[in-house]
């Protein structure tokens, strides 16, 4: 098939490679424009842009598609059978969705209709879901509301992180989109029951509320690492990033939530406790708890602040 591929982050790269390896003709790759990155803020091409150049594919990176009639004309000129979209980052107007002969197919990182929206991977872990997956859907004007062609699932357990789930779903998406184009299964409308929405995340979503249970805090750490990252505040205002923890839901204590209980960085939660295993203080890299404590002791009795413990807005981690 003659394909237009549209994607931007790492998540989309395996699908691009899978389509190319399957022998499809990729007429063009659309991606977000290069953005400033790193300490020097030099322009950096997106992962999809870099992958496309390696494969020798033509790349387009319009800033916007809204009312961009010149880009609509260029899109139509490729005479594609289908457009495949994976975390592209721009909304396709209906005038573009209607151009390819077989329409536009989206690789969505959830088992629709659960977790439509911007952060399906993180939301599945935060909610304690036992599985996630990828849905290949026909795109329409609504937010992830289109009919489904194919779905595949992966389990979520107590060790699943946003990074590991991202990688599993990314690979699965590549497999499913090739299968969907080969088999062309009939589209099935999404059920009306079970619809949930994954909201766009902000850095403040990463602030730990120690009043929550150990299980909920562990899920937050696993779901929001590496981005937006989880953090807490010391009483002196220092921002402390939390990279990993072990939940201790049966741990009994009578301490205020957020109190360090021992010299192993066990911290009291609203229910149970968590043992912090990876931490980072400002200006340093993430490190194991033992190494962290050698340079910055947190003796028993130290209190890590929950949002309700301070009246001012929390400083944001760098």
Known binding-site residue numbers for (6S)-5,6,7,8-tetrahydrofolate:
110-113
Degrees to nearest 5, angle at CA 220 with 300 and 192? 155
118 touches 190 (CB < 8 A): no
DSSP class of 284: S
56 touches 50 (CB < 8 A): no
Report the C-alpha gap between 116 and 123 in whole angstroms. Answer: 10
Neighbours of 83 (CB within 10 A): 26
Degrees to nearest 5, angle at CA 32 with 29 and 36? 135
Residues tagged in the binding site annotation: 110-113
Report the C-alpha gap between 157 and 160 in whole angstroms. Answer: 5
Beta strands, E only, the chain: 2-7, 25-30, 35-37, 42-44, 59-60, 82-86, 104-108, 116-117, 131-138, 148-155, 197-198, 230-234, 239-248, 266-268, 273-280, 287-288, 304-305
């Amino acid at each position: 098939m003659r394909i237009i591929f549209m994607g931007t982050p790492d998540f989309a790269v395996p699908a691009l490679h899978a389509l190319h390896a399957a022998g499809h003709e990729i007429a063009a790759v659309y991606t977000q424009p290069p953005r400033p990155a790193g300490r020097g803020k030099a322009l950096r091409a997106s992962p999809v842009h870099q992958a496309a150049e390696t494969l020798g594919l033509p790349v387009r990176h319009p800033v916007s598609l809204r009312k961009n009639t010149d880009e609509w004309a260029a899109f139509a000129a490729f005479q594609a059978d289908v457009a495949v979209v994976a975390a592209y980052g721009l909304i396709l107007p209906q005038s573009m969705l209607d151009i390819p002969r077989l329409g536009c197919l989206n690789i969505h990182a959830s088992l629709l209709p659960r977790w439509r929206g911007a952060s399906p991977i993180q939301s599945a872990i935060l909610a304690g879901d036992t599985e996630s997956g990828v849905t290949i859907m026909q795109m329409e004007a609504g937010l992830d509301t289109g009919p489904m062609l194919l779905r595949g699932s992966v389990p979520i357990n107590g060790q699943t992180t946003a990074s590991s789930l991202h990688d599993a779903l990314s690979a699965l998406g590549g497999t499913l989109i090739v299968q969907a184009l080969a088999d062309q299964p009939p589209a099935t409308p999404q059920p009306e029951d079970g619809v949930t929405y994954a909201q766009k995340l902000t850095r403040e979503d990463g602030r730990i509320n120690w009043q929550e249970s150990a299980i909920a805090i562990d899920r937050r750490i696993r779901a929001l690492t590496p981005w937006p990252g989880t953090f807490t505040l010391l009483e002196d205002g220092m921002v402390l990033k939390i990279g990993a923890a072990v939940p201790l839901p049966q741990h009994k204590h009578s301490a205020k939530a957020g109190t360090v209980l021992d010299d192993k960085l066990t911290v009291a939660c609203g229910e149970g406790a968590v043992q912090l295993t990876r931490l980072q203080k400002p200006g340093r890299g993430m490190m194991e708890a033992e190494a962290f404590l050698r340079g910055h002791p947190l003796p028993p009795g130290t209190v890590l602040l929950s949002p309700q413990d301070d009246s001012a807005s929390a400083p944001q981690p760098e």
